[in-house]
Chain A
Amino acid sequence: MKNFGNENYTPENYKYVGKVNVPRKDAKDIVSGKAMFLDDYKLPRMLIAKTLRSPYAHAKIKSIDTSEAEKLNGVVAVVTYKDVDQNMKMGWPPTKPILGEELMYVGDPVAFVAAETEQIAEDALPLIKVEYEELPAVTNALDAVKDDAPQLYPDLFKNNIITPGYAPFQKDGPFWHLIKGDIDKGFEDCAFIAEDTVEFAKMAAPNAPEAPGAIVRWEGGKNFTVWCDTQSGHICKTLNNIVMPDANFDVRTFNVGGSYGNKQSQVMQVMSALILSMKTNRPVKVFQSKVEQMCCFETRLGSQVHAKIGMDKDGVIQAVKGEWTVDAGCLSNTTQGQVGVGIGEAQLVMAKCPNWDLDTNLVATNKQPAGIVRGYGGQELNSCLSLLIGRTMREGNFDPVEVYKKNYVCEGDVYTWRDGRQWQAHSVNYVKAIEESSKKFDWKGKWKGWGIPTWESEDGTLVRGVGCGIIGNADIGEDNTEAYVRVVPDLFTDKSRVVIQTNITESGMGQRSNIIKMVADVLNVDYDMVDITPPEIKINPTGFGLCGSRGTICYGHAVSSAAEDVRQKLYDLAVPFLEVTTDSMYMTDYGVATLARPGKFVSWKKLIPPDLTLTGYGQHLENFSTPNMFMIFVEVEVNKETGQVKLVDCLGGTDCGQAIDPAMLEMQVQSGIGSASLDTAIYEEHVIDPSILRTMTYDMIEYKWRPFNDFPTYETCVLESQFDTFQFKATGVGEIAGAAAASATMQAISNAIGVQVATYPATPDVILKALEKL
């Protein structure tokens, strides 16, 4: 490709962007077993840590005796709350000591043990003698805000309502309550109104295959090297600095075995290893068991919404009034940000609505922490609000596809984002993507109306129904990001390598390779000649990692700008050699040539002083003006005798602006079935025993998940409308692939059986109750 300049960011000029022509950089490592994950890594003299956990949902430690555990051969340290600074608090605002005297959920850490082997550490746990005073507990957020409820943090919060606002996200002040227009008048103008309380509160588990974990090596003073299976080293550092503000963390990551937004902060893993490392002066590894991951690590947020939604006679939503109660479990892991995004995403779906009064309460309960998961609050709120939007649509007998087309955000619409500021949508319009997706799914052929099955077996036992859902997120431009792109001439050949220096951990989305594609195209070099630095926060400039779908825009923008910067420097250096102005130059064969004087060429190597390199710098500044969109269509089959729901067919539709790697994008689209998304409508849930308040779905046998032999057909419909986002005109979209899938599935189930179902998940007992057979 020649003549690649700023004016030439068009698909026909790309050699790698938009193509399926090179494997991911780590592909060979992954299929050969060479890829390194945290649990594959060892350090000399490394100890293994295990945690003794609370058997009660709320209790006080009356006495604790660690002497027998300490005597066990191979045990190096045992620590309890007595050994830990009680000002080392996790959560936002800082809420809960890393080890406290008061225990807030079943599984809350009581003591940490570091030992020479995992077996010894495990053997030591039952030797710790603890006497507990059981305290009254509350596990439902709506109960927790009542005056007579047990108070978890009476010195900090009243009625267990966690202080709103997360300052780094909301620089103008806390944002938790959206008020716009005249809500009463708005409802007066509505022809169809639905009001109800809807819950999405089963706190499903994202359950990444690789459990959370960390290795910490104390380097003296407040300096720590951290190896963690976090999705984002930067966020891991930031959230751990809440606990220890003056700590100097060097966070390093490996390939991460799934995260789905969930394995980011990892405060308990890092801090427990840190405390033990300081105590023993040895590196300490913490790696949760699957049962710990299921019972003690962050789940999806609980979401209970009482809302009233009004729609006019044309199917345009005119008023939304609601109270959203968000169950954060035992603490807020900056959940205030998720609340802000949830409010924001609701506005994207109902973008023409001028009248809002959407209030929120973030509530602490005696449950394992809930927090950041793919969908980031928006999914949890959408799963509730969409059911009420559906009821207004049914009242008006509207086709949901037509309603979503009318209401979804497009260029010019204004919304309040999670920073509390007003943003105006720029460049995006998704009507065509909705129409094309609908057509490919044959929506018009399958949709028979509200409460009417698409198909029924002859004996009436099996019925099928279709549903659809839409969601979007403007966070795809979130957080400032920077990158360096360095040209490194070979010593003995005329070629040069290119090194991208930016902080991206690979957790499955292929983005490390995708930004290499972008840089290879900007500099017109082979993909194989571009490297990227390891994901470590000290050697790389600021990068928040791939939280949400920010990777494409934020890293794409930063690295493309850095590549352009070094390209311009090379052009400037080439002027004396080519004797033309830079505007006629282009990159070719690891050098610079010019259209003005064909045949003239100078290699980069010649332009750069011997043994040195040339570096370009690029940055992305936070911008919430280009929300993405994902629409999902589902068809389910319900057995009216057994109540079983079978997922038959799906279609995921979007307009991504420009696909960077269409094959990876296809997989991201399909991935909406996973990570506690679509199946939270069918069978995914955490079940808590109401008497002992323990999680019954504590492992991968009890917790229901979709196996290989139970997958539906899945089609994708991806448009590429070249949005004005950054150089390559792409948006990120993977995060939200499943965010509207649960509500769409509930709609499909309701249409199949002809009775509205609003209880997540729609397990057989829920279906049979709806059919009045139970």
Chain B
Amino acid sequence: MAKDTINLSVNGIDYTFSIGDNFGQVPCNETLLDTLRNRLNLTAAKKACDEGACGCCTVIKDGDAVPSCMTLLADCDGCQITTLEGLSDPVTGELSELQQKFIDYYAFQCGFCTPGIIMTTKALLDKNPHPTEEEIRDALSGNYCRCISHYHVFEAVNAIAGRPEDLDEKWEGRR
């Protein structure tokens, strides 16, 4: 039986959306990405390829990294969604360890693909706190980065995975 409402949690806040074609309702073909960006003003996830190829729209749905541009809101009933905005402390704004590592290791350039890269990484680490380098590379293989920040992303994620490169040594005399 078709449901006329969708309940889901985004970054710990519960929402109910009415499905339909009237003003204010969510049409059944609306993607999770459009809902996040246009209705909830959560704009960290980016619309780029709009066909699940680039990973810029990645969010976590029930523990899995998913392209939100290829996920219908109507398929998210009862789901827990986490976006990049949900990683920082909602009150103090304090960054999570993962976000801080992306700063420490300069793991971005233009930053447009960074929200997707961080969310893919977060989903990986939640399931596998100590991934191998190969596991990191494979997990991120659906995330497009054209500035080529890959090497610094590897450093940041490796640091969390238990293989930190000593930045004081790398930048000896530069710190």
Q: Which residues of A contact B (CB under 8 A)?
A: 18-21, 23-24, 26-28, 30-37, 39-40, 206-211, 255-260, 289-290, 506-510, 662-664, 666-667, 670-675, 699-701, 705, 707-711, 714
B119 to A: closest C-beta gap in Å: 10
**B143 contacts A257, C-beta separation under 8 Å:** no
**B48 contacts A290, C-beta separation under 8 Å:** yes
B158 to A: closest C-beta gap in Å: 13
A38 to B: closest C-beta gap in Å: 10
CB of B3 within 8 Å of the partner chain: no
Q: Which residues of B contact A (CB under 8 A)?
A: 37, 42-51, 53-54, 56, 83-85, 87-88, 93, 95, 99-100, 102-103, 106, 108-115, 118, 134, 137-138, 140-153, 167, 171, 174-175
B74 to A: closest C-beta gap in Å: 16
The one of B46, B99, B115, B151 that contacts A670, using a Cβ cutoff of 8 Å: B151
Most buried by A among B54, B106, B109, B144: B109
Bound complex: CA A711 to CA B102 (Å) = 19
A667-B109 CB under 8 A given contacts A28-B95, A32-B84, A508-B147: yes
**A258 contacts B174, C-beta separation under 8 Å:** no
A208-B146 CB under 8 A given contacts A32-B93, A258-B110, A507-B110: yes
Interface of B is mostly: loop
Bound complex: CA A19 to CA B113 (Å) = 26
Cβ contacts A to B, 15 pairs, < 8 Å: A21-B175, A27-B108, A30-B114, A31-B84, A33-B85, A34-B44, A208-B112, A209-B144, A667-B147, A667-B148, A667-B151, A671-B148, A674-B148, A675-B147, A708-B153
**A709 contacts B137, C-beta separation under 8 Å:** yes
**A27 contacts B148, C-beta separation under 8 Å:** no
A680 to B: closest C-beta gap in Å: 13
**B110 contacts A33, C-beta separation under 8 Å:** no
B23 to A: closest C-beta gap in Å: 11
Bound complex: CA A23 to CA B102 (Å) = 10
Chain B residues within 8 Å of A707, by CB: 140-142, 144
A255-B110 CB under 8 A given contacts A20-B171, A21-B174: yes
**B140 contacts A708, C-beta separation under 8 Å:** yes
A31-B171 CB under 8 A given contacts A260-B146, A509-B109, A510-B109: no
The one of A290, A671, A710, A711 that contacts B109, using a Cβ cutoff of 8 Å: A671
**Could you list 8 further interchain pairs (A-B, Cβ under 8 angstroms) beyond the known A33-B45, A209-B46?**
A39-B46, A257-B111, A290-B50, A506-B110, A667-B151, A670-B150, A674-B148, A711-B151
Chain A residues within 8 Å of B47, by CB: 39
B34 to A: closest C-beta gap in Å: 9
**B43 contacts A673, C-beta separation under 8 Å:** no
B123 to A: closest C-beta gap in Å: 14
**A508 contacts B171, C-beta separation under 8 Å:** no
Chain B residues within 8 Å of A258, by CB: 109-110, 112, 146-147
Bound complex: CA A699 to CA B53 (Å) = 9
**A667 contacts B152, C-beta separation under 8 Å:** yes
Bound complex: CA A210 to CA B114 (Å) = 12
Bound complex: CA A124 to CA B167 (Å) = 55
Chain B residues within 8 Å of A257, by CB: 46, 48, 110-113
**A30 contacts B108, C-beta separation under 8 Å:** yes
**B147 contacts A671, C-beta separation under 8 Å:** yes
Chain A residues within 8 Å of B43, by CB: 33, 36-37, 39-40
Q: In this complex, what residue of A is CB-closest to B85?
A: A33
**B167 contacts A31, C-beta separation under 8 Å:** no
Bound complex: CA A259 to CA B142 (Å) = 21
**A33 contacts B83, C-beta separation under 8 Å:** yes
**A32 contacts B110, C-beta separation under 8 Å:** no
**A32 contacts B111, C-beta separation under 8 Å:** no
**B171 contacts A700, C-beta separation under 8 Å:** no
A586 to B: closest C-beta gap in Å: 24
A49 to B: closest C-beta gap in Å: 16
Bound complex: CA A103 to CA B88 (Å) = 50
Q: In this complex, what residue of A is CB-closest to B112?
A: A257
Bound complex: CA A663 to CA B99 (Å) = 18
Bound complex: CA A509 to CA B149 (Å) = 11
A13 to B: closest C-beta gap in Å: 14
Q: In this complex, what residue of B is CB-closest to A41?
A: B43
B111 to A: closest C-beta gap in Å: 4
Chain B residues within 8 Å of A507, by CB: 110
Q: In this complex, what residue of A is CB-closest to B120?
A: A708
**A37 contacts B112, C-beta separation under 8 Å:** yes
Chain B residues within 8 Å of A28, by CB: 95, 103
Bound complex: CA A289 to CA B54 (Å) = 13
**B103 contacts A709, C-beta separation under 8 Å:** no
**B54 contacts A714, C-beta separation under 8 Å:** no
Q: In this complex, what residue of B is CB-closest to A675?
A: B146
**A209 contacts B103, C-beta separation under 8 Å:** no
Chain B residues within 8 Å of A40, by CB: 37, 43
Chain B residues within 8 Å of A20, by CB: 106, 167, 171, 174-175
**A711 contacts B150, C-beta separation under 8 Å:** yes
**B171 contacts A708, C-beta separation under 8 Å:** no
Bound complex: CA A663 to CA B143 (Å) = 22
A298 to B: closest C-beta gap in Å: 15
**B50 contacts A289, C-beta separation under 8 Å:** yes
**A708 contacts B137, C-beta separation under 8 Å:** yes
Bound complex: CA A33 to CA B88 (Å) = 10
Bound complex: CA A459 to CA B132 (Å) = 31
**B112 contacts A27, C-beta separation under 8 Å:** no
Chain A residues within 8 Å of B103, by CB: 23, 27-28, 31
3 tightest A-B CB contacts, nearest first: A33-B44, A257-B112, A508-B110
The one of B46, B51, B150 that contacts A701, using a Cβ cutoff of 8 Å: B51
Bound complex: CA A207 to CA B51 (Å) = 15
Bound complex: CA A525 to CA B94 (Å) = 26
Chain B residues within 8 Å of A673, by CB: 148
Chain A residues within 8 Å of B167, by CB: 20
Chain A residues within 8 Å of B83, by CB: 33
**B88 contacts A32, C-beta separation under 8 Å:** yes
Bound complex: CA A207 to CA B53 (Å) = 13
Bound complex: CA A699 to CA B145 (Å) = 15
Bound complex: CA A359 to CA B140 (Å) = 46
Q: In this complex, what residue of B is CB-closest to A701?
A: B53
